[in-house]
């Protein structure tokens, strides 16, 4: 596998998905090596091949460095980015997963330099989709930018680890956020909405933020948890009453699926990933940013509605079970034919 990001040094969701997928494949008896700029992940079951880089423009230089790697001893090369220079067959099977659209992200990101970088990466995604033998996107809307890609394989969540546990549910109304304070995750906006719209009506409510860049005192009723271990993260989901991530853009949004696997109602802004994961709001609450606080307030005050959405979450997350995702990729590695689905799109499960 190729992934610039891994959880050892990055909070980017792609790295976490690669880590989970690689571990799951090893448990099935496969040998997996991950080529990454990040250091090894503690406790990982797969092999690690470090591509050491220094200086600027590392993501682009990472792709160039991969040109010098001999992948011929592997049966399959599965890239989660940065394979756009690998246009000659470097392994019997070359698979590419596009975890979102950099063009789409460029519409939302701040700063001219970052926007130009995202546009450049968007063109690299197009090139990569043409280089690989098979390309998959993680959500249907991602195909807007690469309509020739016919296969959809969602990101997966380990439903044996992320499970409901009523005994751990907090006694006080608790909202959980997993993301960043600034930029597209909009933790700051959520904190302001919580203080303005939730606390006056639900004064014992808490907002727990799994967040590394939040200020030390973000506001009343708000606890910043920082970075958590895998077990601590599961416990945080199990403790919460509601999960909220008001991102302006998500290609998929793995925390949505993790929350749903633990039986939580999900409140989100209607970004591409949230719309897909919540089945267009049938398994969650989609609200514009200025209505997020009111949506949370209503949900915290309505036990029956929370229970109904929790049940819908558990039903919907079956589409995103990690074991199903691994099944799909194993078929791609072996060169299995694509299955046609209604509407003419050839998709993976989900």
Each residue's pLDDT tens digit, 84-112: 999 877 899 999 999 988 888 888 777 88
285 Cβ contact list (under 8 Å, min separation 6):
265, 266, 267, 268, 278, 295, 299, 309
Q: Report, as an integer, the average pLDDT of 66-81.
A: 95
**Is the pLDDT assigned to residue 179 strictly greater than 50?**
yes
Q: Write down the residue that tokens 């591409």 correspond to.
A: 272
pLDDT at 41 over 60: yes
Backbone dihedral angles phi then psi of residue 152, each to the nearest 5 degrees? -115, 120
Question: Cβ neighbours of residue 6 under 8 Å, at least 6 residues apart?
Answer: 15, 18, 19, 34, 36, 38, 39, 40, 41
Band (pLDDT 50/70/90 cuts) for residue 345 is very low
Q: What is the pLDDT of residues 110-124, one digit of tens each?
A: 788 888 888 988 898
Integer angstrom CA distances of residue 292 from 157, 190, 217, 276: 25, 7, 21, 18
Rounded to 10 degrees, what is the CA torsion of 323, 210, 102, 87? -50
pLDDT band at 126 (very low <50, low <70, confident <90, very high): very high
Euclidean distance between CA atoms 91 and 71, whole angstroms:
6
Tell me how far apart the alpha carbons of residues 97 and 31 are, in angstroms, rounded to a whole number. 19
């Amino acid at each position: 596998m190729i992934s610039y990001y891994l959880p050892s040094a990055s909070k980017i969701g792609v790295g976490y998905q690669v880590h989970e997928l690689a571990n799951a494949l090893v448990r099935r008896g496969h040998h997996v090596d991950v080529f990454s700029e990040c250091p090894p992940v503690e406790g990982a079951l797969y092999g690690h091949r470090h591509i050491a880089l220094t200086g600027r423009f590392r993501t682009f230089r990472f792709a160039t460095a991969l040109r010098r790697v001999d992948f011929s001893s592997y049966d399959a090369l599965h890239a989660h980015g940065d394979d756009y220079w690998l246009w000659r067959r470097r392994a019997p099977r070359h698979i590419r997963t596009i975890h979102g659209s950099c063009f789409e992200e460029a519409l939302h990101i701040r700063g001219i330099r970052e926007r130009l970088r995202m546009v450049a990466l968007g063109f690299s995604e197009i090139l990569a989709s043409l280089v690989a033998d098979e390309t998959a996107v993680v959500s249907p809307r991602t195909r807007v930018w690469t309509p020739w890609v016919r296969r959809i394989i969602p990101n997966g969540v380990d439903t044996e680890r992320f499970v409901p546990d009523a005994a751990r549910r907090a006694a006080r109304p608790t909202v959980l956020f997993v993301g960043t304070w600034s930029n597209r995750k909009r933790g700051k906006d959520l904190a302001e909405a919580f203080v303005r719209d939730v606390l006056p009506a639900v004064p014992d409510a808490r907002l727990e933020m799994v967040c590394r860049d939040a200020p030390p005192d973000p506001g009343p009723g708000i606890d910043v948890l920082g970075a958590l271990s895998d077990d601590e993260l599961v416990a945080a989901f199990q403790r919460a009453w509601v999960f909220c991530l008001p991102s302006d853009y998500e290609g998929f949004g793995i925390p949505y699926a993790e929350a749903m696997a633990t039986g939580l109602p999900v409140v989100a802004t209607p970004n591409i990933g949230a719309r897909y994961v919540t089945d267009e709001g049938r398994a969650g609450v989609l609200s514009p940013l200025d209505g997020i606080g009111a949506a949370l307030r209503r949900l915290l005050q309505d036990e029956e509605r929370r229970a109904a959405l929790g049940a819908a979450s558990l039903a919907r997350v079956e589409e995103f079970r990690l074991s199903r995702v691994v099944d799909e990729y194993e078929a791609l590695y072996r060169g299995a034919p694509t299955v046609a689905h209604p509407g003419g799109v050839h998709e993976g499960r989900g």
